[in-house]
Structure 1
Amino acid sequence: MSNVGIIGSGQMGKFIAHCLANNASCGLTLHSVLSRSLQSGRDFASDNGIEHSNVYTDIHQFLNDEKLDAVYIASPTSTKNSYLALSIEKNKHVLVEKPINYDKQLINAIDTAISKQLVILEASHCLHNQIFFRLTELVDRYVGNIEFVEATFNWPSTDEALTKFDPTLEPNGVLGDLGWYLIRTLVELCGGEFEHSSQLLKNNNGAIIECSTIGSNATTSFALNSSYRQSTVRQVLRISGSKGELIFNDFIMPYWGSFVYGDVQRYLDIEVRHGMKPMLDRKFERIYFTGEQHINMLKFFSESINTPHPHVETMLKKTLSSSKFVSDIRKSSIIRHWGG
């Protein structure tokens, strides 16, 4: 069992703490918490079975705990890389929430982690469900050479609710939040080097609330859209190629095994289409989910700590490519403002 400390006591911090406290099969023990105040840290500890002696308000004291093996980071994006770098410096394995800013501190932390044989794993739950486990197989069978990728992730929200996306804390807004999954999926399918152009929409608070990106590499073109402005949730991935196309609905947070929906529907029907009559020349491939994706992620993190897994470094390189892609989009986008 590896001892894990939590940095960040918001929604995701509380959720992962609950998972660790109630799933011994993960191979991880919830050990400590770093909080901005002692009282909030003690409240967090009481809710999740952490001893009050393992509540910290100082990052250095938190990381100097010799019983601490690994760290879960769910702090605002503006502080993630500094916590990541310090954790690696103190020889801790790291599970870190997206989005992750692309900068020298991130690159150096990753290089150091690889040299020290420490695990850094991106905490995107969807990478650990049966959709992504079977993605290569399904593309090879039904798509062939990938020629076009279209991905959308919309999540309804009012402009007032978007005040929580303080640009000083979450500079990437929806691009880093919902858009991260689209970019990470594109990188998973096609690598990370693309020519692209984007439009970002900002609200009155300066938060990015919509992002539309189109682009291509030598063989594949793509269109990505993430938005807080739509009326319904939409999580759709379409992959088209030389043989046909696949359409995945709810591929990021399926209706079973996600922290949002819980246990609703334990399978997903993927649409397979081809030919000149795609609404007739089609069938459905059913994928059954086994294990909740966030629990799968925690188990993989634990296993990677105990037994070095070559796939971890591959995943880390894809995380870095995704982070760079987010940064490139922000730097090169046309900015428009919504709401006057």
Structure 2
Amino acid sequence: MKSYRIFSRNAKYAAAVFLIGLVTIFHDIKLDNLDQSYDVDDDYMSSDKYISTTDERGVSDDDLSPRSRCQIVYLLGVEGTMHHGVEPIIATLAASQTDPETGTAFAVHSKSKDLRYGLFAPTGSRLGFDSPPAMDDPKFVKKVISSICPNDGRKHIVIEAASFPCGGKFRVSRGNGSRVWREMTPEAIANSEMALEHPTNLYKFYDAYSKYADVKFLALHRPFLETIASHRTWDSGPIPHSNIIQGFLILHKRFLDIHKTDPITGDNVWTVIHVEKLSIKYHGLWHNRKERKQALEARKDMIRNVATFLGWPKVTCKQCFESWRDSTTDYSQVFEPELLKILTEHKESLSGIWPPVEAQTIV
């Protein structure tokens, strides 16, 4: 009888531990699935750990890492601009860097759960908060910064690439937005409060976080017709999807136009990556040695330009394109002539808007 009681107690204890484990896993899954269309579960090279804390005393400025040692790199692109392919390239390039001041490797955090909680999460407890406050709440921002860039002497690079718009659980959901946006003109979408807040408010993000971090944007450009063709079944069809994408490109253009240089350092805040130049097919249809060489040179140029723009010391990276795959999308094969004519008019309406003209370097 005694051994049975011991067994019963042990069984109850094991069951309790199992249930607690399930709750913890479920909670993390909810946080990881902020962006269904962007593989949020894949914490590529991320050193983030789930933080369970009830400390709500806030963070002192003295506890924060110096601004120069905390860099947030946002790959700014609409759906279909190949952020899936570009993000691993930037993360690999960052991971290959060594801080010249300390001789230590950069600490690279890609798709940081804590930054995503700060920018995107509509619900959930984290960082000592029962639910996410306003994204530009000073106390909240400091908590996020202290987590993603701990003051440990290392240089921290935090990479985010959730697209605009973006599927998943956000303060303004992609689904709710789509049902409204598909009935609107691109200009009306760009002017709407719902689009401004999805998946995050770029203006609030930059103003709040650039006080404590060097915030940079890599604006992704892909030819418009290829962009639309890659998600042509979304938003009930190519035309409403095209209108939505146009709306967000207008919104991005407005944001970038008034955020060209860092008010503290005078450095450029953003640059453009022309992702089509990274593909062999951009340089010709034969995939011969000459075209492959041209694509290779374009990739080297992209690595050098991005590293220089971000202030990273190493400007070469042999392994950065190991995960890259050229897109096989051919818009001329998926759109009927009449539809292609309409979408071409959409593309032409973006002349002078996208891609944006980069700011000149301030000497």
The answer, yes or no, to whether TM exceeds 0.5 is no
**Larger relative contact order, structure 1 or 2 (CA cutoff 8 Å, min sep 6):** 2
TM-score by length of 2: 0.28
- Structure with bigger strand share is 1
Higher gyration radius (CA): 2
TM-score by length of 1: 0.29
